[in-house]
Chain A
Amino acid sequence: MIKTSLYTFILISITGGLLTLLSSVGIFISITMQRRLERLQETLEEFINLSYGSDANLTTQMYNLIEKYQLHYIYPKQPQGLILRYIDLNVFFILLLWSFAFIMNYEPPFSLPLIMQISPLMIGIFATLFFRRLLRNTISLENPLLGTIVPPPLKLRSISFLSHFINLSVMSVLKQARLSLMLTFNRCVDDSDAWNVAVDLKEELSCDDFFYYLALYDNTSCYFAGFGEVICRFPSDPITDKPVPVCRNINIPLGCFMTDFSFDLGTDFQAKLLIFTRGEKHPVQYNYRFMKGRGFLASRTDPVVTVNRRIVYNIKKDELNVLSFDPNIPRFQELLPHFKLNGSRYYFYPLSTIRKQSKDSPPHIQICRKGVFID
């Protein structure tokens, strides 16, 4: 039997030992964290530097860097679980022993000074629990505490994020994403004269999180206009369970339209694509010309990419406010009131381009429900 008066001290010294162990775990975590942060920031810097060499084909390097970034970002599950369990157990015993030491020396009755005496224990419990939360947050990077210092790998494909937080040219990143347009022709079932044309935006590297406006037109009329926000969601691989930060060769359906023109488009058939991101004030403009393939029209490989300084915009609370227009972009002004960043893609075609419809029929704005696919 141990003497009761000494036993309290024994308990407190054991608690002290446990606290020391806990803090050494904290040091261990902070050292590994520091290493990881360094690696991540190095990779991030490499990524940013890479995007300045915009003329070369750097898509593969960018893709590999994002994968590498993810490798350092994700902490292996097993050691992480072990450390978390250790921290939890340790904190539990510390709190238990502290409370036990108090209870052993408690003498009834309950009175006001007792609350004063207990308050250091309360502070201790609070501080320990807070420390535990801090350690837990540090060990996995996916939390608001560190998210701003080292963004999750998903954010590296987000154009808006890159343009907003990092001072880097949107155009050079977009150049590596290599946006191109693809129009696939299918004969309409009921009408042998008309074609159903599906419009897809192809990306070599899946950059997302931007607002777009697309117009397909020639010198007589505008065949198609599409607008909306591009957001890709790639679920983790169902078999290997690996997260997918970025994809290649993706197609984003933008809508479809019907027309009676055949494959032989006039030379003036062209497309204008505007890209609005959250961190900029002038959109990036792509001018596409087309070339013929089998059953499809693909945009030529060297689109003219410029920053359209005539358009000024800002994005506030998912709403796109255009402060000044460019009259050269067909239908832009007309569709302005519908511009919202809600993650969906809309399209619109003036029905008058089909011979059968009367010219006065109202424009239809439709939502494009087809998901992003890889082809």
Chain B
Amino acid sequence: MYYDTAVFVQNIRQALSPLVFPSPAQADPYMDLAKVKVIEEFDPQEACRQAPSSDPLVQALGLVLETMEKGPFNMTRLGMNELFKKYLFLITEENEEECTQRFFDCFYQLFLSSLLESYPFTGLFWEYLCLTLATVSEYLIEKRLITAGQIFLKTVFVMGRCATQNCLPTCTIQHLMHNMEIWAREEGYLEFADCAKNHRFNLECL
């Protein structure tokens, strides 16, 4: 039953369906020690009482990561595709920062686990990821989501560097960065354009 693609996609969609941004967790915070800035405000009693709410995104991510361990690349591909689609469906100007950050954390984790030596489809995974990222970049600039674009560029840059270290091709990444740069320069987002250019130039400098 596991290998039924329709069931798999349904499972992912089901897992993702409660996902909304801004996430309800913001109203009901869960204390993260790594994010404590002022130690006087930290109250151990209060912190121990808080419980995290369930996160649909992590659930979906887990499902995709599972496919990477078990088998056919097609399942991973479908899972990623669903995640990307949900991302593009959810992103709006109001939530672009949180939404992009959360989703790209997931994509980064997926990418990192694809670099495992025991994972046989690293090349396929990277090729597919690049093509999807190119489409996502087109969508982001089409919708003028600049903040999202910046987070996108940063994550893609980090992934691209890792890929270079692992001797994977980066042509598509460079192309999408160039495309974003030209668009940003035309539209007058000079800082964004410089950022894209800088990332493109440093992508392969190790």
Contacts and interface: CB of A to CB of B under 8 A. Distances in A.
Interface of A: 53, 56-60, 63-64, 178, 180, 204, 248-249, 291, 293-296, 298, 301
Interface stretch (B79-87, B145-153, B176-184): B176-184
Nearest to A301: B171
Interface stretch (B95-103, B113-121, B162-170): B162-170
Contacts of A204: 204
Nearest to B130: A301
B175 A301 contact: yes
B177 to A, nearest CB: 11
Contact of B204 (A53, A56, A60, A298): A60
B169 A57 contact: yes
Interface residues of B, number: 19
A179 B170 CA distance: 13
Q: Is the interface of A mostly helix, strand, loop or mixed?
A: mixed
B172 interface: yes
Nearest to A59: B204
B206 interface: yes
Contact of B183 (A56, A60, A248, A294): A294
A298 B168 contact: no
Contact of A64 (B168, B169, B171, B206): B206
Contacts of B182: 293-296
Nearest to B183: A294
Given A248-B204, A294-B183, A60 B164 contact: yes
Given A56-B168, A293-B179, A301-B171, 12 more contacts: A53-B167, A56-B167, A57-B164, A58-B167, A59-B204, A60-B204, A64-B206, A248-B204, A249-B201, A294-B182, A298-B178, A301-B169
Interface of B: 163-164, 167-172, 175, 178-179, 182-183, 186, 200-201, 204-206
Contacts of A59: 204
Contacts of B178: 293, 298
Nearest to B171: A301
Identify which of B164, B171, B172, B201 gathers the most chain A CB atoms within 10 Å of its CB. Answer: B171
B30 to A, nearest CB: 41
A62 to B, nearest CB: 11
A60 B171 contact: no
Nearest to A298: B175
Contact of B171 (A180, A248, A294, A296): A180
Contacts of B200: 249
A301 B172 contact: yes
B206 A60 contact: yes
Contacts of A60: 164, 204-206
Contacts of A178: 171
Nearest to B170: A57
Contacts of A58: 167
A317 to B, nearest CB: 38
Nearest to A292: B179
A58 B163 CA distance: 11
Contacts of B163: 57
